[in-house]
């Protein structure tokens, strides 16, 4: 629908297989599809949102490694904060993303801030005063080398303050249908498709249409993919714990 090539030629093109392989392996988010979105202002970009996935996977892999070494215990609060502070110092030398390592520093900082917020969720109270403090800190440090991490911290606090408030029926609805990640993943290709199909669309019309269609795709993704996957995790984790406990008991058995 969005390619300039005939369907048989499109399916036979090696770029299609290459796109699938590069996307699954997270090699790049800039893999192109033959004839897709070639005429748009941001030509050839099928789904630019995918560029963050490899950093997310790396951060979760780090968390899995720490858990494997038994470091995710009650001391996890201190660990999360320590890593966040260490990363904050490390990332402060970077003023703009240039390389994969630079981007990883930023994502690791954001990931650690999220981990710390989760570990300290029973102790931190988000308020307008806290928002004002971190916003003021970000403005004060903006011209310095600590400007970027300060902005990331302020963004995290503002987002958590807004997200942890109760918004009546809206909160109930979003608790049942968490479409946020689906909107993020599908938003770019949907926006490109809207612009491709209706080149004369206004900026407001483009944004409204993209948000509405992305929300529908996000809800479908939540119902058909994400929620079933989370249910599988609930069944798998207890089974793994039982298996590990059984192995530990066997290892300690005097008959072995």
Angle at which helix 53-68 crosses helix 100-119, to 10 degrees, equals 50
Q: Phi and psi of 54, rounded to 5°?
A: -65, -30
Angle at which helix 100-119 crosses helix 76-91, to 10 degrees, equals 150
pLDDT at 93: 58
pLDDT at 254: 47
- Convert the pLDDT of each residue in 178-202 to its tens digit: 899 999 999 999 999 999 999 999 9
Mean pLDDT of 203-230: 93
Helices (H), 69-99: 76-91
- The total of structural domains in the chain comes to 1
Provide the terminal-to-terminal Cα distance of the chain, rounded to the nearest Å.
64
- Residue 54, in any domain of the structure: no
Tokens of 147: 């400007």
How many residues does this entry show for the chain? 256
- Residue 136, in any domain of the structure: no
Task: Quote the pTM value.
Answer: 0.74
- Residue 176, in any domain of the structure: yes
By residue range, what is the domain housing residue 186?
167-256
The neighbouring-strand residues paired with 238 are none
């Amino acid at each position: 629908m969005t390619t300039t090539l005939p369907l048989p030629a499109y399916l036979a093109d090696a770029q299609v297989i290459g796109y699938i392989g590069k996307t699954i392996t997270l090699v790049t988010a800039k893999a192109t599809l033959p004839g897709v979105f070639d005429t748009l202002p941001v030509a050839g970009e099928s789904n630019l949102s995918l560029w963050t996935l490899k950093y997310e996977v790396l951060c979760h892999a780090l968390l899995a490694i720490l858990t494997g070494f038994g470091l995710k215990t009650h001391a996890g609060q201190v660990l999360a904060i320590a890593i966040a502070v260490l990363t904050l110092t490390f990332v402060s030398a970077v003023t703009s993303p240039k390389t994969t390592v630079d981007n990883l520093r930023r994502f690791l900082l954001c990931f650690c801030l999220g981990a710390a917020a989760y570990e300290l969720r029973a102790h931190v109270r988000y308020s307008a005063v806290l928002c004002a403090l971190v916003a003021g800190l970000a403005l004060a440090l903006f011209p310095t080398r600590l400007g970027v991490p300060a902005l990331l911290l302020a963004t995290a606090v503002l987002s958590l303050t807004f997200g942890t408030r109760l918004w009546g029926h809206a909160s109930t609805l979003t608790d049942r249908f968490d479409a946020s990640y689906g909107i993020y993943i599908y938003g770019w290709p949907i926006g490109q498709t809207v612009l491709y199909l209706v080149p004369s669309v206004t900026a407001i019309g483009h944004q409204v249409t993209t948000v509405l269609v992305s929300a529908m795709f996000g809800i479908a993704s939540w119902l058909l993919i994400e929620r079933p996957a989370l249910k599988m995790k609930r069944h798998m984790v207890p089974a793994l714990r039982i298996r590990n406990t059984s192995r530990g008991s066997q290892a300690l058995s005097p008959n072995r």
